[in-house]
Structure 1
Amino acid sequence: MTDNEAVIGGKSFTAVAVNCASKAGEWIKSRIGQVAEPDLKISLHDLVTEVDKGSERLIRNLIGTHFPEHSFLGEEGVEPGPEASVKALQKVSAEEYLWIVDPIDGTTNYVHGFPFFTVSIALAHRGKVIVGVVYDPSRDELFVAERGKGAYVHGRRMKVSAETTLDRSLVGSGFPAEHQVALPRNLKQIQTMAPQVRNIRTAGSAALQMAYVAAGRLSGFWEIGLNSWDLAAGSLLVEEAGGTVTDQSGDPYHLGVRNVAASNGHIHADFLKELAKA
């Protein structure tokens, strides 16, 4: 990324993304325990709250103030279900600058007071992610990446973990909210992967688990049926920390990827092989 891509009209994209994420994170944290009964999106397992909607409004307004000509794709502005997500992305994928936002990734955790949820903000330039920010308000951890400039947490440069074999790897996954296709496939993969790795964690926020791959806390992460707002920011964090992000066929990450595999790179080939076995 050239310097003029990171800054427009004297305003830094990254600074705006960080400001939005921290403001939204603070607001979300202040509302813990005050949430009314959540609405169901597509099932009892996919929830949305007024706080999700409020967080997205806050982020959209802030970005709009700085960059009114930029496009915006936020989870809460899209109808539930995989087809709607694909369509929503197709509609905006040709835009020059596209902000991709998950106002709370880990809403189910948030509703239950389980402190593993995050604000995820990415900026894509002609379809390629150039800024990625994931903010965990519970731990006040801000993960930031700018294309070509590395990935950072607490201002320190992140580096993926050093494990070279699956049997020494701690990996992450999830339980997809879509139960007809995605969940059974993911469960099969968990069953196949579990004996091959040191252990598996399923913590309920794809964005935060991708950030943990970048920080070297997980050696890999995979899940079936995710959306661009779950993955865009995390994908850049992992890449800029020296890791690898592909779809589960091994093709390079792009905004349309739904079945993701992210790793430290060293275990990637074996990781994909085990996923394919399932």
Structure 2
Amino acid sequence: MKFDSDLIQNSVARLSASVRIAVKAVMHAGEVAQKADRGAKTKDGEGHRSVVTQGDQRAEAVLVEEILQHFPKSARILSEEDADNQNMLKKDCPDGLMEATYAYIIDPVDGTAPYGSYLGNWCVSAGVMQHGEIVGGAVYAPDLNGGMLLVSDRERCVRVIDPSTSDDPLNLFGDFAEPVLPKNATVFFGVDSMLYPSLTKLMPEIAANVRVTGIANSGILALAQVACGRITAVIQTPQKAWDWAGAYRAVLETGRIFSFFRLVPDSENPGTDKLVEVGENTYDFDAFKYEKRNRLGYVAGEPAMVRRLMRLLPRKGYARTNPETVSGNWK
């Protein structure tokens, strides 16, 4: 079954204008990305895991164009890819983000590696912020099981349109966050979490107590699956804001939570970081700055499972394996 654009527009008609714009933008950008050249190139000055494609660049251009078509003067945009536009905020210090009436935190292609390999676990996303609060968002995964669209709006239901799961392409999701028994749970690790030996040591214990474990190559898409109830919880080390903002409201509106933390240098153990809890569903302006020390990690999902996993995470001893220094060891 193919997406019915009229049905989609009708289904989101009661949502706020800023969220409807996000829906239109991510769907258009996703369609462009599907048709673009997916050949991956390493970003200047970065390692082999940090790549960009023609799809990233074209999708970003579409997202920016769609947003500014409706808010040419007032919209502010924060993005992973650099763009030459007066409405674009600086990644290092996005001054004006928290004060903006309409701000969009966009990720043209989240999961560039699977996207470049023609796998389905990538998406386009846009988080909607008003006066410092993330009030909604849209996540579109066009290659996932025929396509999935997740839309969230403050104090409104999350809508999931997924032709693979229903004859009716519109599924209305309410509160799914009932406690999940560990033996029935699905827990995913963010792909970047695999670079921390202190976290990978937890995998045997977690795998022995839950039904399914997995690796999330797209952080946003994993959060979308959390909101849909397909993933019970996801553990993610500190990420850039566009790697979680687009699905933030969806997670909350389905009764689930974020438990945020930062990894900061541990003065007692040079060369390692310690975990400092930020709080549940709590973010600050620094979280939207590009510099690594400002980024938030999180456990997100069903509340009881999130709190169980947070207690399990080590508080010290975080030493990241740097793929930019070890790459090339395998021949």
TM-score computed with the length of structure 2 as normaliser: 0.71
Map of 2:254 onto structure 1: 241
Question: Is 2:179 the partner of 1:172?
Answer: no
Question: Post-superposition shift, 1:86?
Answer: 7.0
Map of 2:150 onto structure 1: 143
Cα distance change of structure 1 residues 88 and 51 upon mapping to structure 2, 3 Å threshold? farther
The DSSP-based 3-state class of the residue aligned with 2:81 is helix
Any conservation in 2 of the 1:99–1:121 contact (CA below 8 Å)? yes
Question: Post-superposition shift, 1:200?
Answer: 1.4
Any conservation in 2 of the 1:74–1:101 contact (CA below 8 Å)? yes
Task: Map 1:124-143; keep pairs closer than 5 Å.
Answer: 124-138=129-143, 139-143=146-150
Separation (CA, whole Å) in 1 of partners of 2:128 and 2:117: 30
- The number of equivalent residue pairs is 258
Separation (CA, whole Å) in 2 of partners of 1:137 and 1:89: 30
Map of 1:48 onto structure 2: 52
* Identity between Structure 1 and Structure 2 (%): 22
The DSSP-based 3-state class of the residue aligned with 1:60 is helix
AA partner of residue 234 (structure 1) = A
Structure whose CA Rg is larger: 2
Separation (CA, whole Å) in 2 of partners of 1:199 and 1:269: 18
Question: Is 2:28 the partner of 1:23?
Answer: yes
Select which of 212, 235, 245 maps to 1:222: 235
Cα distance change of structure 1 residues 92 and 188 upon mapping to structure 2, 3 Å threshold? farther
Question: Is 2:105 the partner of 1:77?
Answer: no
Map of 1:213 onto structure 2: 226
Question: Is 2:67 the partner of 1:67?
Answer: no
Map of 1:38 onto structure 2: 41
From the two aligned structures, give the one with the greater helix fraction: 1
| Root-mean-square deviation (Å) | 2.5
Question: CA offsets per residue over residues 98-125 of structure 1, 9 Å max, x none?
Answer: 1000000000001111111000111111
Cα distance change of structure 1 residues 252 and 162 upon mapping to structure 2, 3 Å threshold? closer
Map of 1:81 onto structure 2: none
Select which of 286, 297, 300 maps to 1:259: 297
Separation (CA, whole Å) in 1 of partners of 2:198 and 2:51: 21
Separation (CA, whole Å) in 2 of partners of 1:19 and 1:126: 22
Separation (CA, whole Å) in 2 of partners of 1:53 and 1:73: 14
Unaligned runs of 5+ in 2: 1-14, 84-89, 162-169, 262-276, 288-294, 317-331
Separation (CA, whole Å) in 1 of partners of 2:199 and 2:98: 27
Question: Post-superposition shift, 1:260?
Answer: 1.2
Separation (CA, whole Å) in 2 of partners of 1:96 and 1:205: 29
Cα distance change of structure 1 residues 146 and 235 upon mapping to structure 2, 3 Å threshold? same
Any conservation in 1 of the 2:141–2:147 contact (CA below 8 Å)? yes
Map of 2:327 onto structure 1: none
